[in-house]
Structure 1
Amino acid sequence: MYEKTQNQSAMLSTKDDETPSEGTRTHVSEVPMFDQKTTKRLLRKLDWHLLPFMSLIYLLCFLDRTNIGNARLDSLEQDLNLKGLQYNDCLAILFPFYIAAEIPSNMMMKRIRPSVWLTFIMVAWSACMIAQGFVKNYSGLMATRVFLGVFEGGLFPGVNYYELHHECGFRMALFFSAATLAGAFGGILARCIAEMSGVGGLSAWSWIFILEGLLSILVSFSAYWAIHDYPSTAGFLTEKERDEVERRLAVDHGQLSNHFDVKYVWQAIGDWKIYIFMLIFMAGFAPIYSLSMFIPTIIKGMGYSANNAQLMSVPPYVFACFFTIGASWYADRARQRGIFLLGFQLVAILGFALLAASGNATVQYIGTVLAAVGVYPQIPLGLAWNGANIGGSLKRGTGIAMQVMGGNCGGIIASYVYLTRDGPRYVTGHSILIGIVGMAFFLTLFMTIWCRRENARRDAVAQQVGSHELTEEQKILERELADGAPWFRYTI
């Protein structure tokens, strides 16, 4: 789904140095055009031109997807006469369409320039968000959420076009931290917009959707010029820099197979390890979506007023942002992912346990902060870990696509974790999330142990055979094995 072509791969897949990637030991003979100092300067240049705007788009996307949690505190359910599980249904309906849109959107990325396609879907989802501010009943809200899912579903494949994968874990964390900032920004904005209740005959929740949709549509007007399609057309690069970026993209492909062949797609579909990573990813996104859509409601249940609950929802996201970036920075340097994941999963379990076990508002709020700190770093860590442990460009792209689709299934689960009948403590919901994160913990522990043992086994075999440079014929033969190649080593 995310296969690259030499001319149509984006620029963030370049590495910070000329060492082999953490998941493979490749044999490349291409001679770098730039020295280490010049290369770092080039990478920083790429980062400054690509990451900020793409992160801003993702921030707005996540904000528009989850601001219904803030709107709920401003009489959304009462005004639309929502009963029973209807509010939860409106949350859940977005995700099947979000998931279904990913592959068609990726196909459109191949037919239409990224700048054109991403601008189109951003304008479209912004229009859906504005329309959501004018709905009058349950059916209207369901319809707008369907179309919001259809158009927002194309963003992540579009961003993945920029190849934020395993060699760029820190960059991936910077990008995903936009989701935490969306939560913080959403709480502050919702508190300010609450003062507009009654303006134009509309409730405050309507203005939350309308104004945040207008903000997204204003940013989308600049997307066409801000998004760079290919290295060859990036105006901020010199001719030599363009050549170096394309060379590094070719080197990044490594000796594992990068040519399209459906057998590599089937390799990914038949790889049991990817399904475990899918479950770990789903168990990460389930609590993230649960918090992002319900954290204002949870905090209000602690005894705070609606307006104060909007503001109190900000600090957990700020702490989560700090730890999301910091954890990936350390993980990149340690060349490890599993141990970091295990640590944050334990933090998340502790946070939800405090929420479930105590009726004290202070303890519950501390639990909310710990839960947010524990769950958000899991996404960039999990995505980088899976990507690093899949050999071959096409198999890796398919495996990451499977992981992302599995993760978004967590959004469907999250929509029904916190039910109105369980409020204000939501002990059942917190307990469910403890179980989900606990499952991820044991799966992560299993994969960490398995990867260590498999690496040790391959090292032992290599010692017996003796180290020697692979011939071109051996490289061609062994690249068919993807991460099953004898010289591939898993990230632990």
Structure 2
Amino acid sequence: MNSKELSKALPSSQHEEEIDEKPNEAQGDFRVSDDNDETKQYRRLLRKMDMRIIPILAALYLLSFLDRGNIGNANIQGLSKDIGLVGNQYNWCLTVFFFPYCFFEPVCNALLVKFRPSIWLPSIMVAWGVVMTLTGLVQGYSGLLAARFFLGLTEAGLFPGITFYISLWYTRADAQLRMALVFASASVAGAFSGLLAYGIVKMDGVGGLYGWRWIFILEGLLTVLVAFSAFWIIPDEPATANFLDEREKSLAIMRLRIDRPQSTTTPQERTLNHQFKWKFVWAAFTDWQTLFHCLGYWGNAVAVYAVSLFLPTIINGLGYSAEHAQLLTVPIYVAASICCIAVGYYSDKTQKRGLFVFISYAAVFVGFLLAVAPSSFIPGLTYAGCFIAACGIYPAFPGLLTLSANNYAPNAKRATGMAIQIGFGTMGGAAASNFYHKQDAPRYRLGHSLVLGFNVLGLVSMVVYYLICRRINKKRDARWEAISATYTDEHLIELGDKAPNYKYTL
């Protein structure tokens, strides 16, 4: 993209200030002689941001998924028996996590926009690390129920915060691979959880504590340790990032403004606190596309929590010991991580979001169908089904989140809309935590069938969403040239994704 193309992409009121003025130290001069030079500059900037931002986000999300899912590892090591859980009490302990997680997510993302990510994200991480550590000391059903409730409350702001945070740094064309790199850490967490649990339970009896208690205590302490280091590592946004020089800041901000002109107005309104307006928060709740994002996310969330909470139990029911079941979860999660990153890469490369979401949903459908369809129980086929399903579940999430990140504007609406999507969708975890019961072992046909049904719901929702967005884009393309003179830059910014020149990502 050369300077003439940049000029066309910018509103005229901003063009003179950003392009025509002589470069100075405050602005930074990113103008270059040709497209190839600017492409090289932008690639160097992306690598620099990737090295600083993606590793810490991946670490935070890995630990959050590790801490919410390790109860499955602890349970097959004797948790339910040792604290006297009976009937569906274990399932209720899984379910209660999702209620505060769901309802507080939109509030948390509104607070992240209002305050600084570098303070908000590490702070909530310290809180849930403390809760996780104390979970290792629970003595009965009520204690575990309370611990899981507060874990959901304190974790509520992380995942929607991370997904919105990525949109502050990367353009829509570059977002899904970065989302995939972070979300792949969830599947790595599954593998890591099995390996950690296999080693930690060897501490059974140390300090007079059962091995499953040490799973919670040690993993909780690790979370707290990483959280304190995150206070000094996480930058807020490109405009205030101290690891970028002025030239790099200007290039990063300009790319984002061209990519999302409805998200910013003047250079003085580049920071989050200037962009926060409550009317944009409310707009996310009333937008037609929020329903489709929620249903699509719900369909996949049911599957991901079914796997993360019950995979060790499902494999244990195939005839393997608890220790071997822990280890057999590892190859499934490793394969899922590879697929997640590969799909993210090709989605960004081809700029096709919907296509890869559909393919991922199809893999989940095939996987759970293999576990349900045979008339007789075939352990190897069930394991293969879990393997295939996981390779579709984890790539689907970055695609779904990138679609919502691409299609909400401005920033405050995007932050809230994504939080609603994740919050509502995460209630699928509350549902999934009640799908699998002891009496259904070892086949768990009811649980697999319910996950399959929600997968179909999610797939149908996203197909309909795709068709609606394509229809709206065609109408806007046909009308924009005739009506463009009637809109000012400020009016278009206020309209956000409702602006007649805004195109939804497909």
Q: TM-score range by the shorter chain?
A: 0.7 to 0.9
> What CA deviation, in whole Å up to 9, does each residue of 1:201-237 have, x standing for no partner?
2212111111111221222231122222344553322
Out of 399, 413, 421, the position equivalent to 1:395 is 413
Does residue 219 of the first structure (1) align with residue 226 of the second (2)?
yes
Structure 1 partner of 2:317:
301
CA distance in 2, matches of 1:491, 1:232: 26
Structure 2 partner of 1:194:
201
Letter in 2 for 1:146: F
Report if the CA contact (8 A) 1:123-1:217 is conserved.
Answer: yes
Report if the CA contact (8 A) 1:128-1:144 is conserved.
Answer: yes
CA distance in 2, matches of 1:93, 1:18: 56
> What CA deviation, in whole Å up to 9, does each residue of 1:391-428 have, x standing for no partner?
43333333222212122211211211112221111100
Report if the CA contact (8 A) 1:183-1:292 is conserved.
Answer: yes
CA distance in 1, matches of 2:392, 2:383: 14
CA distance in 2, matches of 1:108, 1:274: 20
Letter in 2 for 1:275: L
Deviates more, 1:359-368 or 1:453-462: 453-462
Does residue 310 of the first structure (1) align with residue 326 of the second (2)?
yes
Deviates more, 1:243-252 or 1:174-183: 243-252
Structure 2 partner of 1:6:
none
Letter in 1 for 2:360: F
Does residue 383 of the first structure (1) align with residue 401 of the second (2)?
yes
Letter in 2 for 1:398: T
CA distance in 2, matches of 1:19, 1:77: 63
Letter in 2 for 1:123: V
CA distance in 2, matches of 1:385, 1:377: 13
- 1:74-113 aligned at under 5 Å gives the runs 74-106=77-109, 108-109=111-112, 113=116
Q: What is the CA distance between 1:108 and its match in structure 2?
A: 4.8
Distance 1:132 1:391, change over 3 A: closer
Letter in 2 for 1:304: Y
- How many residues in Structure 1 have an aligned counterpart in Structure 2? 469
Structure with the largest fraction of helix: 2
- 1:271-310 aligned at under 5 Å gives the runs 271-310=287-326
Distance 1:71 1:442, change over 3 A: same
- 1:344-363 aligned at under 5 Å gives the runs 344-358=360-374, 359-363=377-381
Out of 204, 207, 219, the position equivalent to 2:214 is 207
- 1:178-189 aligned at under 5 Å gives the runs 178-189=185-196
Out of 245, 248, 264, the position equivalent to 2:252 is 245
Structure 2 partner of 1:339:
355
Letter in 2 for 1:58: Y
> What CA deviation, in whole Å up to 9, does each residue of 1:292-351 have, x standing for no partner?
010000011111111100000111111111111111211112222222111111111111
User: Which runs of 5 or more structure 1 residues have no equivalent in the other structure?
Assistant: 1-14
Report if the CA contact (8 A) 2:280-2:413 is conserved.
Answer: yes
Report if the CA contact (8 A) 1:286-1:413 is conserved.
Answer: yes
TM-score, length-scaled by structure 1: 0.88
Does residue 269 of the first structure (1) align with residue 272 of the second (2)?
no
Q: What is the CA distance between 1:107 and its match in structure 2?
A: 5.3
Structure 1 partner of 2:470:
452
- 1:140-179 aligned at under 5 Å gives the runs 140-160=143-163, 162-164=165-167, 166-167=172-173, 168-179=175-186
- 1:60-75 aligned at under 5 Å gives the runs 60-75=63-78
Out of 44, 48, 65, the position equivalent to 1:45 is 48
Letter in 2 for 1:133: G
CA distance in 2, matches of 1:37, 1:445: 37
Letter in 1 for 2:496: A
- Aligned residue for 1:163, secondary structure, equals helix
Distance 1:392 1:139, change over 3 A: same
Report if the CA contact (8 A) 1:257-1:480 is conserved.
Answer: no
Structure 2 partner of 1:490:
504
Structure 2 partner of 1:8:
none
Deviates more, 1:440-449 or 1:309-318: 440-449
Distance 1:450 1:107, change over 3 A: closer
How high is the sequence identity, in percent, across the aligned residues? 41
Letter in 1 for 2:428: G
CA distance in 1, matches of 2:222, 2:71: 16
Distance 1:26 1:81, change over 3 A: farther
User: Which runs of 5 or more structure 2 residues have no equivalent in the other structure?
Assistant: 20-28, 32-37, 266-274
Q: How well do the aligned residues superpose, as a CA RMSD in angstroms?
A: 2.7
Letter in 2 for 1:210: I
Report if the CA contact (8 A) 1:320-1:376 is conserved.
Answer: yes
Letter in 2 for 1:175: V
CA distance in 2, matches of 1:18, 1:143: 60
Does residue 430 of the first structure (1) align with residue 430 of the second (2)?
no
CA distance in 2, matches of 1:315, 1:393: 38
CA distance in 2, matches of 1:460, 1:249: 26
TM-score, length-scaled by structure 2: 0.85
Distance 1:365 1:171, change over 3 A: same
Deviates more, 1:471-480 or 1:193-202: 471-480
Deviates more, 1:297-306 or 1:332-341: 332-341
> What CA deviation, in whole Å up to 9, does each residue of 1:145-189 have, x standing for no partner?
122112111222442452337441111111111111100100111
Structure 1 partner of 2:35:
none
CA distance in 1, matches of 2:452, 2:474: 33
Report if the CA contact (8 A) 2:122-2:227 is conserved.
Answer: yes
Out of 26, 30, 33, the position equivalent to 1:33 is 30
Distance 1:221 1:455, change over 3 A: closer
- 1:467-478 aligned at under 5 Å gives the runs 470-471=484-485, 473-478=487-492
Q: What is the CA distance between 1:379 and its match in structure 2?
A: 0.9
